[in-house]
């Protein structure tokens, strides 16, 4: 890794990172302000008039935050309460002093590394609520997440029906095509997300069942079959004598995406690829739409709203949870700004857990950015090089592209896409294109 590519930063005009800092973040903060103002009467009714003080303190912090983003001020320290509060301030201090990366001249909203500053932003928002008396547990993105689920009930019923059919019939064990389809449904669930639209819900017209069949030309690297061949197939065959029959899914967004990830989890269990599937979510609201434990429980309880198939599917998941085959965890590592190649140092317990997993599935754009360190790699740099040695076990990233970082694209594919887009990079951030990249085996 002698020649590391530079980190993405908001200050590079014309990039999506720049647009994000300039427009998307202020919009997300404004959305939260509007929501608090709108909900004020409701909150007073629920918590009593004392909540006014809390609301005022949050609004004051947010107006300062918006101003500081827009005028590119240095990041300030955060309140030290809550898990990892201290660690965050240490990180900010380190970044500003001894460990300032060579390619970063100052830790401000635009000049700082995009990934670090973006994680800081969501931690800042969380801290503003956490330090209040009454609103410390409020999920300020909950309405957006639940609306996404409720706006796609038809699709959710379709996905549930698809899965229920697989559970019923005695399909052959080595159905490569079927397994591939389920992974693609989970992939395309990542197509839209609520942070891309600045918190506005976006209706995904094409269901993931249909997308899995129709959108293959939008997948720039597709290692799903290779992964099935090397990892999943042997797991099913060696059922009796394999120790690590555990698969981990590092979740991304709630709503349609979580539904399709639960389809994947259910599939892995009922097709006997694993004895347990561990889902990893976020300990607090993160990047607008990411799944917390509350979202997970709410989603499973809400499948019946989609229709009879949804209800059957929800009950099946509840029985997996009851049998401890489906487990939800949220490690604080996922709400840290660290890239994954430092997981062994920053989250040794989690890393150790993954060393005994058979397969790690990373969902979404943010997980991908952390895998490749959010750097401006030459796109034909190998995925392995960009992951910088991260390999506790075999892993696969299922990601639609929403940020200008990617590795492992062949020059033939690059030539084709550059010709098609006449060298404009919008394909990297629109969420229309995807990669399914296999991260090989543990050393
Ligand atoms: O704003 C940063 C960003 O990573 C976008 O690039 C992306 O739209 C979003 O946040 C997160 O996407 P995902 O939910 O797929 O991780
Ligand atoms: Mg997300």
pLDDT tens digit at each of 443 positions of the chain: 457 899 999 999 999 999 999 999 999 999 999 999 999 999 999 999 999 999 999 999 999 999 999 999 999 999 988 788 889 999 999 888 866 666 667 899 999 999 999 999 999 999 999 999 999 999 999 999 999 999 999 999 999 999 999 887 665 545 788 899 999 999 999 996 555 554 445 567 789 999 999 999 999 999 999 999 999 988 877 666 556 689 999 999 999 999 999 999 999 999 989 999 999 999 999 999 999 999 999 999 999 999 999 999 999 999 999 999 999 999 999 999 999 999 999 999 999 999 999 999 999 999 999 999 999 999 999 999 999 999 999 999 999 999 999 999 999 999 999 999 997 899 999 999 999 999 976 54
Q: Is the CB of 196 under 6 A from ligand 1?
A: yes
Q: Is the CB of 148 under 6 A from ligand 1?
A: no
Ligand nearest to the CA of 189: 1
Say how many Å lie between the CA of residue 242 and the centre of ligand 2: 33
Please tell me what DSSP assigns to residue 29.
H
List the Cα angle 242/244/246 in 5-degree steps. 125
CB 227 within 8 A of CB 394: yes
**pTM of the prediction?**
0.95
Q: In the beta sheet, which residues pair with residue 399? A: 435
Write b or e for each residue in 316-330: b if 16 or more Cβ atoms lie within 10 A of its Cβ, otherwise e: bbeebeeeebbebeb
Ligand nearest to the CA of 403: 1
Which among 250, 259, 254 has a CA at the least distance from the CA of 280?
Answer: 250
Q: Is the CB of 32 under 6 A from ligand 1?
A: no
Q: Is the CB of 8 under 6 A from ligand 1?
A: no
Helices 25-47/51-70 angle, 10° precision: 180
Q: Is the CB of 195 under 6 A from ligand 1?
A: yes
Q: DSSP string of 189-254?
A: TTS--TTTTTT------S-HHHHHHH-GGGEEEE-HHHHIIIIIHHHHHTGGG-S--EEEEE--BS
């Amino acid at each position: 890794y002698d020649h590391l590519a530079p980190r993405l930063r908001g200050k590079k005009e014309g990039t999506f990172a720049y647009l994000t800092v300039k427009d998307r973040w202020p919009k997300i903060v404004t959305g939260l302000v509007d929501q608090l103002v709108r909900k004020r009467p409701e909150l007073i009714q629920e918590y009593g008039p004392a909540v006014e003080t809390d609301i005022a303190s949050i609004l004051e912090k947010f107006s300062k935050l918006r101003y500081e983003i827009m005028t590119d001020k240095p990041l300030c320290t955060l309140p030290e309460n809550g898990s990892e509060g201290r660690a965050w301030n240490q990180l900010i201090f380190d970044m500003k002093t001894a460990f300032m990366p060579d390619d970063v001249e100052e830790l401000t909203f635009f000049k700082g590394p995009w990934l670090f500053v973006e994680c800081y932003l969501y931690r800042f928002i969380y801290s503003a609520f956490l330090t209040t008396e009454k609103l410390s547990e409020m999920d300020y993105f909950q309405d957006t997440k639940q609306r996404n689920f409720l706006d796609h009930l038809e699709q959710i019923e379709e996905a549930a029906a698809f899965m229920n059919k697989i559970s019923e019939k005695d399909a052959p064990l080595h159905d490569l095509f079927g397994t591939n389809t389920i992974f693609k449904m989970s992939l395309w669930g990542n197509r839209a997300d609520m942070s891309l639209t600045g918190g506005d819900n976006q209706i995904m017209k094409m269901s993931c069942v249909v997308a899995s069949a129709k959108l293959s030309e939008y997948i720039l690297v597709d290692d799903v079959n290779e992964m099935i061949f090397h990892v999943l197939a042997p797991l099913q065959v060696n059922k009796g004598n394999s120790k690590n029959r555990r698969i981990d899914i590092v979740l991304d967004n709630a709503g349609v995406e979580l539904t399709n990830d639960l389809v994947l989890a259910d599939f892995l269990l009922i097709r006997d690829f694993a004895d347990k599937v561990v889902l990893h979510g976020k300990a607090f609201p993160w990047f607008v739409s990411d799944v917390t434990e509350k979202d997970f429980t709410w989603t499973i309880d809400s499948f019946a709203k989609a229709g009879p198939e949804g209800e059957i599917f929800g009950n099946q998941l509840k029985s997996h949870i009851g049998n401890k085959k489906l487990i939800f965890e949220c490690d604080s590592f996922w709400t840290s700004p660290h890239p994954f190649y430092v997981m062994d140092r920053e989250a040794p317990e989690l890393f150790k857990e993954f060393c005994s997993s058979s397969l790690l599935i990373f969902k979404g754009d943010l997980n991908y950015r952390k895998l490749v360190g959010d750097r401006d790699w030459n796109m034909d740099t190998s995925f392995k090089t960009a992951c910088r040695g991260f390999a506790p076990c075999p892993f696969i990233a299922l990601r639609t592209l929403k940020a200008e970082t990617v590795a492992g694209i062949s020059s033939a594919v690059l030539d084709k896409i550059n010709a098609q887009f006449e060298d404009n990079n919008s394909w990297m951030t629109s969420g229309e294109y995807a990669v399914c990249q296999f991260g090989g085996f543990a050393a």
